[in-house]
Amino acid sequence: MWSPKSGTLPHQHKQSNIFSRHFKPSGLAPQQTNQYQTNYSDPSYHQTNQIARNSMEFSTDTSLIQVTVDEKGVAVVKINRPEKRNALSQQTIDCLVRAIAMVERDDKVRVVVLTGSRSSGPFSAGADLSELQHLSTVEAHRIQYLKDLSDAITKMRKPIIASVAGFALGGGFELAMMCDILYAADDAKFGLPELSVGTIPGAGGTQRLARIVGKQKAMDMILTSSTMSGKELERLGLVARAFPLDKLYTSTIDAAHKIASKSVPVVQLAKQAILNSEETHMDAGLKYERSLYYSSFSLEDRTEVGFWVGH
């Protein structure tokens, strides 16, 4: 059974479907429906006899974040605010952070896919500008806008894949770059247009973009507020693979299933080693890689030696 302390998702035995869940604002009592519900700050919950939906939903007053987990351990997390182009309001961010925390804690989840709720996009238009219009410097520092989301994703042990269709702009592009792997539609549009509204990227955009595509491309893209396609960013190495739009989602899930089929601790060791390479010089990185490599020999789910020598 699920509880906020355990973080275990309520999977059904021998079935791929999972129960439905809503998160309500702090202080509001759960309402009785035919689904699981809870106040996130209150571990009490209401259970009924019939579970009508094959999904989990984290929401306050709407279903802002939807989560489904299949039988192979792939959790698909969808941003569901299409009327606002999936803009990242603080409420949406809070719900997404909770969703990420839950799938991270659940041992049945092996890989996470982050995408928009519609196959044609968008992924996200970035920060909700209506909330930023009157935000002062002091208030921005106080609420640490977007930092909690960045921390939730970048500190995950499990691999997380961004699947981008339509467009990913501003904070939406930064969110996609936080993920371990970024797949995109060939014609998806990426950009950091913050300068056009009188600010700069504030959730890692200047740092991650420059490290991947280089100073010149980053300067051009940010200072001119220009966009690039998924296909263009694939050539620059920021997008791992670009697909025709109608192939994007299935190709993303196929890749997630391949990762999910491998040893969980070994995948996490590999991820840890790769991420470490971004923060250290080669000698230290090689030493760190060897230490993780040697530690994998003691894992119970290590494959037989014959596999390693090519038999």
Active site residues: 127, 171, 174, 194
With a CB cutoff of 8 Å and minimum separation 6, the contacts of 290 are none
Q: How many alpha carbons lie under 13 Å from residue 21 in its C-beta half-sphere?
A: 29
53 vs 50: CA distance, rounded Å: 9
278 CA to centre of own chain: 19
Residue 268: how many other CB atoms lie within 10 Å: 16
Q: What are the helix (H) ranges across 237-281?
A: 245-260, 264-277
With a CB cutoff of 8 Å and minimum separation 6, the contacts of 79 are 64, 65, 86, 88, 92, 96, 114, 115, 116, 117, 123, 124
Residue 145: how many other CB atoms lie within 10 Å: 20
Say if CB 170 and CB 126 are below 8 A apart. yes
In one-letter notation, the amino acid at residue 244 is P
In one-letter notation, the amino acid at residue 219 is M
With a CB cutoff of 8 Å and minimum separation 6, the contacts of 9 are 2, 18, 56, 69, 102, 103, 106, 108, 109
Q: How many alpha carbons lie under 13 Å from residue 25 in its C-beta half-sphere?
A: 5
State both tokens at 189: 């549009």
Residue 291: how many other CB atoms lie within 10 Å: 11
Closest C-alpha among 19, 25, 51, 53 to residue 38: 25
